[in-house]
Structure 1
Amino acid sequence: MTIISATGNQSATTLLAATKTTATVTAVASQQAAATQSTSVTIGQATSSTPVYAITKPALVWENASADLISSKLAGNFSSAGNAARFAGLGAALLERFTTDAGSYSQSVLKQTAGPASSVSSAQSQLHTKADNQITLSVKTASGALVDITLGSDADGLGVQVNVTKGTLSDADRTALAGLADGFQKAIDGLTAQPPKLDLSGLTKFDTSVLSSVDLHATLGTKNNVQTLDFHADASTRSVKSTGELGTVDISVDMSKRALLGTDSQQKQALNQYLKQFSSAGTRGNADSSLMDMFKDAFTALNSNYGASATTYKSSGPEPVHFSLTKTDKNMMSGLADFTASVTQTPTDKTNPMRPDEVDTFSYQVSQASTITGDSTQNRNITQKQQSHLVASFHQSLTPGLKLNLTSDRDSQNYLYYQIDDKAESTTSVQYHKGALVSASVDQSASTSTHIQKYVKGWLESDTTTPVETSKTTDLLGKLQSAWQNDAPRMSFRDYLAHQSLPDLSGLVLLESDPVQLKNTPA
């Protein structure tokens, strides 16, 4: 312990002079110095050993004596507050390390406290396994090696670890791992942002012939506000589930039916259409904008970087059938992989103390499912169904822009209570018989239900329900035949489908959740 004392008279003038000109520095060594470094400062008459104030600087304990780049980043980040600053740059640095080193790695820094060495060892181990804030990236290579990268942080420590097990890494493995550095860091930065974001697209950009799977797990925050994430990607599936104070995002994408994937322009068109409808659903259901942004970001990430599509599809079952799909087939599909997606906002049941049964909720589900059946390519049936369902309830002020503040006082009970229930569906059916396209159509429907209760000074003044519904069928085969008659009537219809540029019909099959918009769109 170092004690710095300044002596002088008790008068204000002499005191100021003393602080400038007189100082006695005494160094005291004790057994606790290894645990804590402390500076005590006494100003005025040195008649007491009790300092006016003390500055305590805890010593730091390092897991390994090293001056490498990652240790330097740990040292720089450790003094920062918050997960965003604590984890800044660490994820990328750990993956970039594979450009020079293919082995395991472990490092941590702790605030040292007086106690046995075993407690320090236990604290170091906990940083790598059960820290308060923990992020783990697990990557399996095609050759079978497993790489686990862990970042852990709590009030008294910060640590990172790399474990390479079940094999060794080839040069191609190391290059592919380093290629995930930017995507991993962006995912970390998003998760630790306020509000959190799901920036995961960089973790889908990998060659599945080198890296067979990528998993990201995270647990961040305090006991009353924990944000969790589970992400997975491989050649056949992609999924993400995130839960937190705002709600839950849950998305799964089936990559196994690559034969149905469309062109880049088709995929972009479909993705934009879905994002537009997600925004509309969030606005209509009064959803939290940050939660909807997370949902849209995750959906975009999982439906990006598909890689190469395929032309054949093998059905499941004891006697699988191999189907060959054509550009005509893909031209009448959405272009996206099959998926299920949902976003659910944490319900709020304390908005209106006078009527606790009026709960603010938001739940939205959307999906696409495709099937290919038949006994051969010559006799095949393709069905693709897209559907969505929105259920929401919320309170709104009678005066636009005025913040609602409902209390047990009837004078505050002036509001509208909305209950929303919307559904939409789009089903595309394509049939071939003896190699000829004999039927192709899309059936679409959309319905909305808006239930509004109006209260004035606590009394129900009106109670209305407004349903709107539209359905229609579009003959896709007829549109192809019309294009054939206009463009190449001297050619057979089958040859036209096989060799000519076809009109893009994919936009006609996309889900439309607004019944008014669906009604006004030409069939």
Structure 2
Amino acid sequence: MNPITPIIRTTQTYMPAATAPPGIAIKAAESTAASNEVSIGKSPPSADIGIYNAKGTLGNGQVRHIWEHNGIDKLSLNMYSAIQASSTASRFQGLGAALLEQLAANGGQRIAQSGLAVDSGTATEPLLLGLQQARLREFATDRVTFTLNTASGATVSLGLFNSDRGLAVDAEVLGGDLTASELKGLAMMADSFQTAVNGLAQEPPSLKLGSLVKLDPALFTGLQFEAQLQTAGGAQQTFALQMDEHTRSLELQGPSGNVKMNFDTQGGTLLGSETQRQAAVSNYLTQFDAAQQRGNGDEQLMTLFKDAFRQLNSVDDAALRPAGHDTWSSRTSRLLLSGMADFNASLTTPEKRTNPMRREEVDSFTYNVSQTTTRKGGAANLSLQQDQQSALKASWHESLNPWVELQLSLDSKSQDYRYHEVDDEASSSTRIGFVNNVLVEATATQQASQRERVRTYQQAELQSDVTTSASAEQSRDLLDMLEKLLAQDRQARRLGLASSLEQQVQSLRGLWLLQSNPSLIDD
């Protein structure tokens, strides 16, 4: 049997047709929109077709795609399907996973593929094509890059690039070869990488990092994940994630606002049990919800903020702990801590001046929250202090009639509204100290203040100007309580009973964790 020579055929349609990679044939039915049927290895029969090879033309005025490399692999097939889509999310659908899987399958050998859109009359001189393919990557409207540092010292680098000029991908391994285990781990990461790309490319975006951020330290020591995507409205949205064994940072910037976070485990010394950390994360998420509601913040942006916080803290579920982390003194020193990595995080929305009659009134939302832990001395003579802080500043306009949308203008009849200004702060500080391995200090202080000013206008005339405020502060000496719990725990262990120390301490964490509502700080 003679081998079949791949050809590509198409009928003329009202929509520009795309040239497929060699070995793929396209049958396009005549209609007001192209309907493509992909077949591999042979061309479909047709009575009215034009024939061209991979670098031929379709006729005057039409657009085709020139492929950087010939081949019928899973990645190229995915790209041919994706390049016909109109949205970024559709073009990147499945592409990241296919690229990772192919890189792992071919042992880490370099991959470069692109489909470049050119007019049918454009010259296809090789040097010019090479420059255009390079510009496709350099000036891409949408790009996703992913760098993975391996335990063996090599670096994996991936790139997805999209614009109206076409679609391109790159993948390579630098600084060494991947071990068999690293190649397997790379392939297993494909679905998580694709899920993360899909989440960022959708509108509105979502964070779905999943197991992508839970690196196996025996295989991978760090990653950098960046994305620059254009929204349907033409605005730029950027994402950046960096991680190594003990630190991680995330930044998301878009038209609705900015989210920033940085975490540091201080070598793992701060990390408590999973139960302890989950309780602290849950407490923070409650604070975040309260801030969004009190400051009339963007709900979708706060969801991104919460998702990022939750997922970046989950990294520590399987993180390595330092030597001596599980000794009695080490466990005891962390009892009054959150068990989480230190962090600072912020959420900010762009300022808007929505009232042309009073330009000094700004709609805004800024929220900052952090945890800092200071450690002094050694194991026997140790002093720890953990400070948690939050600050909310927000302002917004609210219609006097909840059923009527506020549309402020220079017309006084539009000026029926309330203008809110919120200024809140909260903090907690916990100290624990040992001298010669004896617990000598355990204290906690909680503080919170809230202030809101509301001005009410009717027909542009000020009707009221009311400021309400509340504050509370509570300091506690927890030494006696903690000593009793530790004594009970030692007695239980001597009797061969299971320890209930963590559960008992868990029920008391509200006495020292951050609380932004003054009314919830107990006397």
Task: Name the TM-score class by shorter chain.
Answer: 0.7 to 0.9
Query: Cα offset for 1:59?
Result: 2.3
After superposition, the C-alpha distances for 1:245-272 in whole angstroms (9 at most, x for unaligned) are 1111100010224122111111111111
Partner SS, residue 267 of structure 1 = helix
- Offset, 1:184: 1.0
Q: Which residue of 1 aligns with 2:400?
A: 398
**Separation (CA, whole Å) in 2 of partners of 1:411 and 1:313:** 70
Residue in 2 that maps onto 1:12:
none
**Cα gap change, 1:127 to 1:2, in 2 (>3 Å):** closer
Q: Distance in 1 between matches of 2:482 and 2:51?
A: 91
Q: What is the correspondence of 1:399-438 to structure 2 with a 5 Å cutoff?
A: 399-438=401-440
Determine which of 120, 129, 138 is the counterpart of 1:129.
138
Tell me the distance in 2 between the aligned counterparts of 1:401 and 1:309.
54
Partner of residue 161, structure 1: 170
Tell me the equivalent position of 1:281. Answer: 291
Instruction: State yes or no: 1:115 paired with 2:91.
Output: no
The residue number in structure 2 matching 1:330 is 334
Query: Alpha carbons of 1:163 and 1:454: their partners in 2 closer, same or farther (altered >3 Å)?
Result: same
Q: Hey, what's the Cα distance between the residues in 1 that align with 2:319 and 2:149?
A: 21
What amino acid maps onto 1:369 in structure 2?
A: T
**1:331 alignment partner, SS class:** coil
- Against the structure 1 CA distance between its residues 181 and 259, is the aligned structure 2 distance closer, same or farther, given a 3 Å change threshold? same
Q: Do structure 1's residue 221 and structure 2's residue 230 form an aligned pair?
A: yes
Aligned residues: 467
Distance 2:76 2:199 in 1: 23
Contact 2:103–2:172 at 8 Å: present in 1 too? Answer: no
Q: Which of 82, 107, 110 lines up with 1:104 in the alignment?
A: 110
- Cα 1:288–1:108, aligned 2, differ >3 Å: closer, same or farther? same
Structure 1 residue 283, shift from structure 2 partner: 1.2
Q: Which amino acid aligns with 2:342?
A: D
Amino acid at match of 1:37: G
Q: Structure 1 residues 3 and 482, CA, compared in 2 at 3 Å: closer, same or farther? A: closer
Q: Give 1:310's aligned residue.
A: 321
Contact between 1:423 and 1:446, CA under 8 Å: does it hold in 2? yes
SS in 2 for 1:173: helix
Equivalent position amino acid for 2:335 in 1: N
- CA RMSD, 1 decimal: 2.9
Structure 1 residue 326: Cα displacement: 2.3
Matched, 1:445 2:450: no
In structure 2, relative to structure 1, the CA distance for the partners of 1:435 and 1:355 (3 Å cut) is same
- Distance apart, 1:37 and its partner CA: 3.2
**1:294-340 deviations in Å (ceiling 9; x for gaps):** 111111111113124536589xxxxxxxx985222222111111001
For the residues of structure 1 that align with 2:225 and 2:284, how far apart are their CA atoms? Answer: 25
Residues 1:234 and 2:244 aligned together: yes
2:40 is the counterpart of 1:34:
no
Give the Cα–Cα distance (whole angstroms) in 2 for the partners of residues 59 and 290 of structure 1: 40
Instruction: Establish whether residue 81 from structure 1 lines up as the match of residue 86 from structure 2.
Output: yes
Residue in 2 that maps onto 1:518: 521
Distance 2:305 2:89 in 1: 21
Distance 1:224 1:450 in 2: 36
Question: Retained in 2: the 8 A contact 1:371–1:384?
Answer: yes
Which 10-residue stretch deviates more, 283-292 or 442-451? Answer: 283-292
3-state SS of paired residue (1:216):
strand
Amino acid in structure 2 at the alignment position of 1:294: L
Change (3 A) 1:167 1:75: same
Deviation at 1:478, TM superposition (A): 2.1
Cα distance change of structure 1 residues 60 and 188 upon mapping to structure 2, 3 Å threshold: same
Whether the 8 Å CA contact 1:313–1:324 is kept in 2: the answer is no
Match of 1:382 in 2: 384
TM-superposition CA deviations, 1:461-516 (whole Å, max 9, x none): 1112111101112332222234467x479x69x999xx954221444322111111
Which runs of structure 2 are paired with 1:331-370 in the superposition (5 Å)?
A: 331-349=335-353, 351-370=354-373
Structure 1 unaligned blocks of 5 or more = 5-24, 39-55, 315-322
Deviating more after overlay: 138-147 vs 358-367: 138-147
User: How far has the Cα of 1:242 moved from its partner?
Assistant: 1.1
Deviation at residue 229 of structure 1 after TM alignment = 1.0
In the alignment, which residue of structure 1 is the partner of 2:469?
467
Q: Does 1:58 align with 2:80?
A: no
Could you say which structure has the larger radius of gyration? 1
SS of residue paired to 2:314: coil
Judge conservation of contact 1:176–1:206 (CA < 8 Å) in 2: no
In the alignment, does 2:259 pair up with 1:259?
no
CA distance in 2, matches of 1:184, 1:127: 23
**Residues in 1 aligned to 2:453 and 2:257: alpha-carbon distance in whole angstroms:** 24
Query: Is this contact kept in 2: 1:254–1:337, CA < 8 A?
Result: yes
In structure 1, how many angstroms separate the alpha carbons of the residues matched to 2:215 and 2:12? Answer: 58
Whole-angstrom distance in 2 between the partners of 1:166 and 1:72: 30
> For residues 179-203 of structure 1, what are the alpha-carbon distances to aligned partners after superposition, in whole Å with 9 as ceiling and x for unaligned?
2212211110111111111222332
2:151 aligned to 136, 142, 148, which one?
142
Structure 1 residues 112 and 430, CA, compared in 2 at 3 Å: closer, same or farther?
Answer: same
Aligned: 1:509 with 2:506: no
TM-score, normalising length: structure 1: 0.83
Secondary structure, in 3 states, of the residue corresponding to 2:433? strand
1:16 is matched with none
Percent identity of paired positions between Structure 1 and Structure 2: 35
CA distance in 2, matches of 1:397, 1:37: 59
C-alpha deviation, 1:278, in angstroms: 0.8
Q: 2:246·2:268 contact (CA, 8 Å) conserved in 1?
A: no
1-structure distance, mates of 2:437, 2:388: 26
The equivalent residue for 1:53 is none
Aligned residue among 196, 202, 205 for 1:193: 202
Question: What is the alpha-carbon distance in structure 1 between the residues aligned to residue 429 and residue 140 of structure 2?
Answer: 48
- Taking the TM superposition and a 5 Å limit, the aligned residue runs for 1:483-502 are 483=485, 487=488, 501-502=500-501
- In the alignment, what sits opposite 1:22? none
Q: In 2, distance between residues paired with 1:483 and 1:331?
A: 11
Deviation string, structure 1 residues 264-295 (Cα, Å, up to 9, x no partner)? 11111111111111111111111111111111
Secondary structure of 1:275's match?
Answer: helix
Q: How far apart, in 1, do the equivalents of 2:483 and 2:11 lie? A: 92
Q: Note if contact 2:241-2:251 (Cα within 8 Å) is conserved in structure 1.
A: yes
- 1:68 alignment counterpart: 73
> Equivalent residue for 1:52?
none
Please say if residues 266 and 506 of structure 1, whose CA atoms lie closer than 8 Å, have aligned partners that are also in contact.
no
TM-score normalised by L of structure 2: 0.83
Tell me by how many angstroms 1:215 deviates: 0.5
1:310 maps to a residue whose letter is R
